[in-house]
Amino acid sequence: MPIGMNIYRPDWLLMVLIFWNTVLPERVNIGIGFLAGILLDVLLGYSLGLHSLAFALVLYVSSANHQRMKNYSIWQQTGVIGLMTAFYSLLVFWLQHWLTDAYFHFNYFWPIITTMLFWPWVFWLLYRAKQKLIL
Partner 1 sequence: MKPIFKRGAPIEIRLFLAVVVAVGMLVADGKFATFQPLRNVLTSIVTPIQYLASLPTYFFTESSQRLRSQEELIAERDAFINEIMILREKEQRFSILESENAQLRRLLDAPVKINLPKTVAELLAVDNNPYVQQVVLNKGTLNGTFTRQPVIDDKGVVGQIVDVTPTSSRVLFITDISHAIPVRNQRNNTRYILNGSGNIDQLSLKFVPHSHDLLVGDILVTSGLGGIFPEGYPVAVIEQVTRDESRPFALVTASPLARLDSLRYVLLLGSSGVIENSNTAERPQSDLLSGANNE
Q: Which residues bind partner 1 (CB under 8 A)?
A: 3, 6-7, 9, 26, 29-31, 33-34, 37-39, 42-50, 52-53, 56-57, 60, 63-64, 92, 95-96, 99-103, 105, 107-108
Residue 66 beta carbon to partner 1: minimum distance, rounded to whole angstroms: 10
Sign of the CA dihedral with 61 first, then 127, 118, and 52 last:
positive
CB of 117 to partner 1, least distance (A): 18
Determine the Cα–Cα distance for residues 16 and 77; give it in Å rounded to an integer: 14
Contact yes or no for 55/34 (Cβ under 8 A): yes
Q: Pick the closer one to partner 1 by CB: 19 or 51.
A: 51
d(CA 99, CA 78): 31
For residues 95 and 116, which CB has a smaller minimum distance to partner 1 in the complex?
Answer: 95
